[in-house]
Structure 1
Amino acid sequence: MTSKATQLRSIPSFLLPCTQSRITPQARYLQTRVKATRIPRPTPFVPDTQTFLTVIGRNLSQHASKIPSWKALFSLTSAQLKELGIEPPRSRRYLLRWREKFRNGQYGVGGDLKYVENGEALLRVVEVPVSGNSPATATLTAGKRKIVVNVAAGGSALEKPAEQLEPVKGLHIKGAQTIVGPHVQPLKGGKAAKVVVKEGLWEDRRGHKIDGGERRQAEVRAKRRGEERRAAR
């Protein structure tokens, strides 16, 4: 009996089953609020919790096993994430910020790609028609412009009508056909490239503190000036 009680205590309270008689008005309000929270659909590039935590970085992928489902990932409050052991507080704030961005369709590189296989998205350069009579150049056909598109592995962008091709956001073309952009890996031959799921792909880099944080800057700089004056004597 004691062993069973210990196991129950180790499980976060909001994950424990509860009877109808135990539901308080506050708990009922929380349940209603959670149900009302819009849960975004996974994307081909970010299909699960593990991948989401991996691409946003800050070592949050180590907590993937603590979050039971995609729905939980987008429903748990900061207090519940704390109860699951996601620390420090700045990591929870960072997770909640990225969670809201994803909910609003604000992805990092690759987030909106449709053709993804084993965490890799293939990119190619294609020519599409433009309005007007643009002249031909050494690297471009007359009346066309070049865009970067996502294609299925082994497939071709030419399998779809030109008007249905959507350019990949955040990438551009350098020279004749070199695809350039954050975390883009060129493929052999230079006619294609790929974006691969990896740790910190979308990570917001933290700035470096100079002379400590705001509270210590004055103290650190005053101490340095004193040392410089003593050294100059």
Structure 2
Amino acid sequence: MIPTIRSSVLRGVRYSHHAANTVVPPVRGSVQDVPTFMKAIGRSCEDVAGKFETWEQLFTTNSRVMKTDMGINTKQRKYILSWVERYRKGVEPQAISTPKPKKK
């Protein structure tokens, strides 16, 4: 391949996965808004529910914005984003408790 064409193709492949994550699923089941979603997933996420103004904002906000603009800590960001992706795939939200450390 010509070097310039090759680099443009690789750049397109590298950044193409971001467009797929912007799909905003419709509300369904018992989840009708952001506070209900956050309460359903548990782990005190209902405390940060007020930082998301709309359903669309919840599904389009990335980790960097959650950290810098919203001040959400790392564990909650990862947990929220994992549930956002699961909800997109059709999984109904439910609380998953944190594993307790094993005694030695």
> Is the structural similarity TM-score above 0.5?
yes
With structure 2 as the length reference, what TM-score do the two structures score? 0.74
The answer to whether structure 1 residue 86 and structure 2 residue 87 are counterparts is no
Could you tell me how far apart the structure 1 residues matched to 2:91 and 2:63 are?
21
Could you tell me how far apart the structure 1 residues matched to 2:85 and 2:77 are?
12
With structure 1 as the length reference, what TM-score do the two structures score? 0.35
Could you tell me how far apart the structure 2 residues matched to 1:35 and 1:99 are?
13
Query: How big is the shift at 1:85?
Result: 1.4
- Structure 1 residue aligned with 2:95: 203
**Count of matched residue pairs:** 87
Instruction: Output the amino acid matched with 1:98.
Output: W
1:62 to 43, 47, 50: 47
Query: How big is the shift at 1:35?
Result: 8.9
Q: Name whichever structure is richer in helix by fraction.
A: 2
Deviation track 1:195-217 (CA, whole Å, cap 9, x = no partner) reads: xxxxxxx1111111024xxxxxx
Q: Aligned with 1:54: secondary structure?
A: helix
The answer to whether structure 1 residue 76 and structure 2 residue 65 are counterparts is no
Could you tell me how far apart the structure 2 residues matched to 1:48 and 1:78 are?
20
Higher-RCO chain (CA-CA 8 Å, sequence separation at least 6): 2
- Structure 2 residue aligned with 1:47: 32
Query: How big is the shift at 1:53?
Result: 0.4
Query: How big is the shift at 1:44?
Result: 4.0
The answer to whether structure 1 residue 95 and structure 2 residue 95 are counterparts is no
- Structure 1 segments, 4+ long, off by >4 Å, are 33-36
Could you tell me how far apart the structure 1 residues matched to 2:21 and 2:89 are?
15
- Structure 2 residue aligned with 1:27: none
Map 1:137-148 onto structure 2 (within 5 A).
Answer: none
CA RMSD of aligned residues (A): 2.1
Q: 1:36 to 1:206 in 2, by over 3 A?
A: closer
Query: How big is the shift at 1:86?
Result: 1.2
Deviation track 1:11-53 (CA, whole Å, cap 9, x = no partner) reads: xxxxxxxxxxxxxxxxxxxxxx569711000114101001000
Instruction: Output the amino acid matched with 2:102.
Output: I
Deviation track 1:146-171 (CA, whole Å, cap 9, x = no partner) reads: xxxxxxxxxxxxxxxxxxxxxxxxxx
Q: Percent identity?
A: 29
Task: Give structure 1 stretches of 5+ with no counterpart.
Answer: 1-32, 109-201, 212-220, 222-233
Could you tell me how far apart the structure 1 residues matched to 2:21 and 2:47 are?
28
Map 1:127-138 onto structure 2 (within 5 A).
Answer: none
Instruction: Output the amino acid matched with 2:96.
Output: D
Instruction: Output the amino acid matched with 2:60.
Output: S
Q: Name whichever structure is richer in strand by fraction.
A: 1
Task: Give structure 2 stretches of 5+ with no counterpart.
Answer: 1-17
